[in-house]
Amino acid sequence: RTALRRLGAIPALALTSGFPLIARAADYTLKYGNNLPVTHPLNIRAQEAAERILKESNGRVDIKIFPNNQLGGDTDMLAQVRSGGIDFFTPSALVIATLVPVAAINAVGFAFKDYNQVWSAMDGALGAHVRAAIAQRRLYAFEKMWDNGFRQTTSSKAPVNTAADMEGLKIRVPVSSLPISMFKGLGAAPASLQFSEVYSSLQTKVVDAQENPLPIIQVAKLYEVQKYCSLTNHIWDGYWFIANGRMWEGLPQDLKTIVARGINEAGLAQREDIKKLNASVQSDLEGKGLLFNQPSADSFREQLRSAGFYKEWQGRFGNEAWTLLEQAVGKLA
């Protein structure tokens, strides 16, 4: 990576050949891929972080962002960040759980009551437990998780008011076993699809429903192909900002400090952006024609309990992780 710059090849060529002096190449040109439209706060704050890191490193670290599934869907990007084809990726907890199963623990249905519970768990012992499991796969997870949000249910068919309304619902969920298990437990007919396929699969009625936080429903324009939005708040979901382990270990300590500070502080700002958006996004989406309803969590929780969902996932996550979750949110089953 640094060979050209050490030889001084680029500036010399630029001067002697009469071309205008070009900026010298960074020591580390790093690729970051994600699955969200450029207008989502995750991309806006990541862009700011990249600019700050370029400046604070005096041009040595240049992070290039590839948003909106430009480099492939989540499954592809997860493979690429493992192989080193890309340097950074922000998988949702549901997505990285295909590699690190315990990472789905924050997505247990109806576990978190509010953001105070979420951030004290994810910035505390539960988040540390998950980060350690991610590190075992030779990926580095930055300390501060970024917010996706509480997931809500949209449909082109009918509002969902109680668990009974889930019966037979053809609903898209991320490619991840926890939401499949959960929606089956609720009696729905879930289908796993990459996020890059969601808009078209709703448009062509491959599925009738999907579930995502309101800011995503807004920036991905899902209101164009959905009629009802039920505020089920069934899963809290966040993004782990991860780096390829070999790349991260090879970065000099001073640059690690600059990059980690830039990314973690941008993550904290991004959480605030989502919080502010949450206050206004519903009325924006109502203006675009989406019809809202606010179900109570009771019938869903009851149905999941009797379907054995909590017991099953307690077994799959193991008692250590489950205890950390229950310490944050109270007894689940």
One residue of 106, 154, 212, 232 binding ligand X2X per CB under 6 A:
212
Beta bridge partners of 170: 189
Residues 6+ apart with CB under 8 A from 272: none
Tell whether residue 274 is a contact of ligand X2X (CB under 6 A): no
Instruction: Round to whole Å and give the CA distance between 222 and 199.
Output: 6
Closest CA to 240 of 130, 314, 166: 130
According to the binding rule CB under 6 A, does residue 77 interact with ligand X2X? Answer: no
Binding-site member from 94, 103, 258, 274 for ligand X2X (CB under 6 A): 94
Q: Which of 42, 63, 77, 95 binds ligand X2X (CB under 6 A)?
A: 95
* 259 in contact with ligand X2X (CB under 6 A): no
Task: Report the SS3 class of residue 189.
Answer: strand
Q: How far apart are CA 202 and CA 198, in angstroms?
A: 6
Between 89 and 317, CB nearer to ligand X2X: 89
Interacting positions 148-187 with ligand X2X (CB under 6 A): 148, 174
- Identity of the residue, 98 or 264, whose beta carbon is nearer to ligand X2X in the bound complex: 98
Size of the site for ligand X2X (CB under 6 A): 9
Which segment (90-98, 154-162, 180-188, 274-282) binds ligand X2X by CB under 6 A?
90-98
* Gap between the Cα atoms of 257 and 261, Å rounded: 6
| Residue among 148 and 244 whose Cβ is closer to ligand X2X | 148
Count Cβ atoms within 10 A of the Cβ of residue 136 and give its class: 0-12 exposed, 13-18 middle, 19 or more buried.
exposed
Among 166, 151, 175, 172, residue whose Cα is nearest residue 234: 151
Task: By CB under 6 A, name the binding residues for ligand X2X.
Answer: 35, 92, 94-95, 148, 174, 195, 212, 216
